[in-house]
C-alpha cells in the first residue's frame, strides 16, 4: 500500500509539473504575397468614373489594386503536454491578395503606350510588396515582444477558450499595424505619381512617331 501511495504521488507531481507557468507559445508570422494579374477589362471612361467616385478628378489610364487579409491559427503541440502554453503554436498568415493591374483597353492600340502604363503600375505593385514585407516583419516583432495573456490548459477540454484568448490577443496587436500598413501603402503609391512619371507615359510613343 505505501508503494501505491508513492506511485500516485509521483504521478500527481508529474501532472502538476506538466505545464510551466509564464511560458510563451511559439509564434510564427507567414507572409503570402499573391502574384499580380494584368487585365484590360475596363475602358478610359470607366476608369475615370471609378476615379471620380473615389473623389479625384484624374482620368487614369489604369490602376493597381490589392487587399491585405490575415488569419490566425492556434494549434496544440503533440504528446502528453500538447496543450501546455509552451507547446502551442500561433500562426498568423498575412496575405497580400487580389493583386491586379488594370490597363485601359484603349492602350492596346499602341504597344509602346501600353507598356509604359503597365510599367508604371508594376512599380506600384513592387512598392506595395516591399511595404507589405516590412510590415509583416513589424507584426512578428510586435507579437514576439508583447506580453502573452495568462492562459493555460493541460487538456483539450479548455483548449477552445485558450484559442479564443490568443486570437483576441493577436488581433489587438495586428489590427493597428494593418492600419499603419494601409497608410504606408497609400503613401508609397502617391510617391510614384510624379510629373516626371506622367510625362514618361505621355511621351512613350514619341520616338515611334
Measured between alpha carbons, how far is 181 from 132 in angstroms, rounded to an integer? 7
In which band, very low, low, confident or very high, does the pLDDT at 41 lie, cut at 50, 70 and 90?
Answer: very high
Q: Taking Cα atoms as reference points, which of 128, 123, 119 lies closest to residue 97? A: 128
Q: Taking Cα atoms as reference points, which of 194, 147, 160 lies closest to residue 88? A: 160
Measured between alpha carbons, how far is 53 from 72 in angstroms, rounded to an integer? 34
Measured between alpha carbons, how far is 27 from 125 in angstroms, rounded to an integer? 28
Q: What is the pTM of this model?
A: 0.81
Quick check: 164 and 115 in contact, CB under 8 A?
no
Quick check: 63 and 44 in contact, CB under 8 A?
no
Range of the domain at 47: 22-208
Q: Taking Cα atoms as reference points, which of 209, 174, 45, 192 lies closest to residue 119? A: 192
pLDDT number for residue 96: 96
Whether 126 is in a domain gets the answer yes
Whether 9 is in a domain gets the answer no
Whether 183 is in a domain gets the answer yes
155: part of which helix (H) or strand (E)? none
Mean pLDDT check: name the lowest of 11-15, 18-22, 80-84, 89-93.
11-15
Strands 37-39 and 89-103, how do they pair?
parallel
Measured between alpha carbons, how far is 19 from 37 in angstroms, rounded to an integer? 48
Measured between alpha carbons, how far is 32 from 205 in angstroms, rounded to an integer? 37
pLDDT number for residue 80: 80
Q: How many domains does the chain have?
A: 1
Whether 5 is in a domain gets the answer no
Dihedral over Cα of 75, 77, 80, 86: its sign: negative
pLDDT number for residue 207: 61
Whether 191 is in a domain gets the answer yes
pLDDT digits (tens, 9 = 90+) for 142-165: 999 999 887 766 566 678 888 898
Q: Rg of the Cα trace of the chain?
A: 26
Measured between alpha carbons, how far is 70 from 177 in angstroms, rounded to an integer? 12
Whether 66 is in a domain gets the answer yes
Whether 1 is in a domain gets the answer no
Whether 16 is in a domain gets the answer no
Amino acid at each position: 500500500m505505501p508503494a501505491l501511495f508513492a506511485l500516485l504521488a509521483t504521478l500527481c507531481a508529474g501532472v502538476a509539473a506538466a505545464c510551466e507557468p509564464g511560458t510563451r507559445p511559439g509564434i510564427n508570422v507567414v507572409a503570402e504575397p499573391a502574384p499580380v494579374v494584368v487585365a484590360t477589362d475596363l475602358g478610359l471612361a470607366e476608369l475615370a468614373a471609378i476615379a471620380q467616385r473615389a473623389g479625384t478628378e484624374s482620368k487614369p489610364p489604369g490602376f493597381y489594386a490589392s487587399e491585405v487579409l490575415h488569419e490566425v491559427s492556434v494549434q496544440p503541440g503533440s504528446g502528453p503536454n500538447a496543450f501546455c502554453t509552451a507547446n502551442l503554436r500561433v500562426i498568423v498568415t498575412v496575405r497580400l491578395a487580389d493583386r491586379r493591374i488594370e490597363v485601359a483597353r484603349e492602350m492596346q492600340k499602341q504597344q509602346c503606350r501600353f507598356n509604359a502604363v503597365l510599367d508604371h503600375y508594376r512599380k506600384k505593385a513592387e512598392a506595395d510588396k516591399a511595404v507589405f514585407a516590412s510590415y509583416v516583419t513589424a507584426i512578428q516583432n510586435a507579437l514576439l515582444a508583447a506580453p502573452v495573456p495568462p492562459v493555460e490548459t493541460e487538456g483539450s477540454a479548455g483548449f477552445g477558450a485558450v484559442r479564443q484568448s490568443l486570437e483576441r490577443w493577436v488581433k489587438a496587436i495586428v489590427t493597428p499595424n494593418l492600419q499603419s500598413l494601409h497608410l504606408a501603402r497609400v503613401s508609397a503609391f502617391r510617391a510614384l505619381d510624379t510629373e516626371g512619371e506622367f510625362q514618361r507615359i505621355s511621351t512613350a510613343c514619341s520616338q515611334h512617331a
